[in-house]
Amino acid sequence: MPNANNDIPAPQSARTPHSTNALSHVQRRAVSELLRVSPVADDLARRFQEAGFTLALVGGSVRDALLGRLGNDLDFTTDARPEDVLRIVRPWADAVWEVGIAFGTVGCKKSSFDIEVTTYRSEAYDRTSRKPEVSYGDSIEADLVRRDFTVNAMAVLLPQKEFVDPHDGLEDLAARVLRTPGTPEESFSDDPLRMMRAARFAAQLDFQVAPEVIAAMKAMSERIEIVSAERVRDELNKLIMAAHPLKGLRLLVETGLADQVLPELPALRLERDEHHRHKDVYEHTLTVLDQAVGLEEDGPDLVLRLAALLHDIGKPKTRRFENDGRVSFHHHEVVGAKMTKKRMTALKYSNDLVKDVSRLVELHLRFHGYGMGEWTDSAVRRYVRDAGPQLERLHKLTRSDCTTRNKRKANALSRAYDGLEERIARLQEQEELDAIRPDLDGNDIMKILGIAPGPQVGKAYQHLLEMRLEHGPMERDAAVAALKEWWAGQD
């Protein structure tokens, strides 16, 4: 992406009338993006040049510049070794960190830009290791060939702004296709996580994955087992949080990768027969996720998306064929919550995230007891209490779970939930439902009953909480009387 007055030359094989227009469009966007970051990038490049080294913008930064979506995270590659990189950037950067230095990466911050500089390298797994073996290289061409996909194997040498694209990444970018610089088998042997990255980039960029890449993913899916749970989890999160998560998830299932990292998802493809009919649980789940994404208000919500993806995973274990031809899934929400906790724990999610997602899975059917609005205020209070801080997400998950094509039924469910939300809002305004607690606290209980701290205080507190949920707020005198009446009946 030469300079402001020159476009990137298109590869000869890409110069058809259609792709030429596409390439010239991305070239113009790239020039605009690079002009924005040029002062910082060029300044850093001159410092490397003066020290006798080369520097290039590389990988996702070049790809995103071509797509017109380059942010303030910039990736560079260099022939300088990490200790030389530190010597160059320390006097220049606002802050420097060495978290990735064992893998040849030095991070730093300059103005509003977060920068990573990585030494030319190659890395490969052996057949049993979970960690890459790092060795440094001396050419940018050798560095680019070890990258995951051709669209991430482009570079811009700085400060001269010479475009380097030995694997026709620009052509693949214009065609919106994911290919590997070498053979996919070699690439996935180097790092099996790249198979999941293919699905993730398909979800993020809405690209197609080349047939030979999909074939290699199917053949090598079991090799993902050597990758650490933390790396798998992080890649899965990026996929789920992407703009097109269904595209990535379908690819994981199609290639068999989901069988290894999230087997509960392909397990939803339950066999169906002409005698016992039920909706396609797998397709229903993807639709629920898609509808949940559509209800997000402040950007991607990992808790909501995970809950939507996992809400029905208890169905395969609870499926029963009834005598009348119906199929039941009794208590699948309870079973599903336990399965969610087990799977998320195995993937090393935080305890808080496991708790929140499992709770939503457990509660996702609760609304269906609301029927046509016959819940008492007590039932509404308990619904709010049980949802706790996940109430808004539970609203969205419950609405997303309606995938019926029957418009009359869908409208009835929507109106019923509208009514429930209105009742919750009224009660919240009257009673501060978000912080339901008894009308007397522990100190009040001990003083009124003349008892010391102990189990009886907890029992009295729980009794008053149940009364609060059942009847709403009580005046203090009434609460005291109720407490004494309860106490008199205790052994």
Is 117 within the bounds of a domain? yes
Please indicate, yes or no, whether residues 315 and 456 belong to a single structural domain of this protein: no
Match 């493809």 to its residue by tokens. 269
Number of domains in the chain: 3
Please indicate, yes or no, whether residues 123 and 42 belong to a single structural domain of this protein: yes
Please indicate, yes or no, whether residues 21 and 96 belong to a single structural domain of this protein: yes
Please indicate, yes or no, whether residues 430 and 313 belong to a single structural domain of this protein: yes
Beta bridge partners of 108: 96, 115
Please indicate, yes or no, whether residues 21 and 146 belong to a single structural domain of this protein: yes
Three-state SS at 327: strand
Count other C-beta atoms under 10 Å from residue 443's C-beta.
Answer: 10
Please indicate, yes or no, whether residues 363 and 484 belong to a single structural domain of this protein: no
Residues of the domain holding 7: 1-170
Task: Please tell me whether the peptide bond between 159 and the residue prior to it is cis, using omega within 30 degrees of 0.
Answer: yes
What are the structure tokens assigned to 296, written together?
Answer: 């997000």
Please indicate, yes or no, whether residues 121 and 3 belong to a single structural domain of this protein: yes
pLDDT digits (tens, 9 = 90+) for 135-190: 788 889 989 998 999 999 999 999 888 889 999 999 999 999 999 999 999 999 88
For residue 270, the model assigns a pLDDT of: 76
The answer to whether the beta carbons of residues 240 and 194 sit under 8 Å apart is: no
pLDDT less than 70: residues of the chain: 1-29, 31-32, 35, 122-134, 271-279, 369-373, 429-439, 491
Name, in order, each residue with C-beta under 8 angstroms of 66's C-beta and a sequence gap of 6 or more: 1, 26, 27, 29, 30, 154, 170, 173
Please indicate, yes or no, whether residues 316 and 402 belong to a single structural domain of this protein: yes
For residue 437, the model assigns a pLDDT of: 66
Is 199 within the bounds of a domain? no
Buried b (16+ CB within 10 A) or exposed e, 160-189: ebebbbebbbbbbbbbebbbbbeebeebbb
Contacts 24+ apart (CB under 8 A), 59-62: 59/147, 59/152, 59/153, 59/154, 59/155, 60/152, 62/1, 62/30, 62/154, 62/155, 62/156
Whether this model's pTM surpasses 0.85: no
Cα–Cα dist 293/296, whole Å: 5
Cα–Cα dist 125/302, whole Å: 30
Is 330 within the bounds of a domain? yes
Is 34 within the bounds of a domain? yes
Please indicate, yes or no, whether residues 121 and 82 belong to a single structural domain of this protein: yes
Is 399 within the bounds of a domain? yes
The answer to whether the beta carbons of residues 237 and 302 sit under 8 Å apart is: yes
For residue 417, the model assigns a pLDDT of: 81
